[in-house]
Amino acid sequence: MVERDVVIKNRAGMHARPAALLVQTANKYSSNIYFEKDSEQVNGKSIMGIITLGATYNTGLKIIADGKDEIEAVEALAGLFENKFAEE
């Protein structure tokens, strides 16, 4: 299991477009992927789960992946956060 803390850096926060990018990226990997905010954990391959976190600008999330390609999955997903989902 691999975990990594990330922060939402795009001003619009987590809305449909970044959530869709996360789900598309997560679905490229066979690992189980989760996002966690406070004590709430959601399936990283579910757009509705991600949106229901209600994550806004500067919100911290934890990416959790468990499986044979967990390291690659976490790196790819963290990259989306670092690049502000290519929105800015």
Catalytic residue (choose from 4, 9, 15, 84): 15
- Those residues with Cβ within 8 angstroms of residue 40's Cβ, 6 or more apart along the chain or in another chain: 53
- Those residues with Cβ within 8 angstroms of residue 34's Cβ, 6 or more apart along the chain or in another chain: 41, 42, 43, 44, 63, 64, 65
Nearest to 70 by CA among 20, 37, 15, 33: 33
Does residue 15 carry a catalytic annotation? yes
Residue positions annotated with a catalytic role: 15
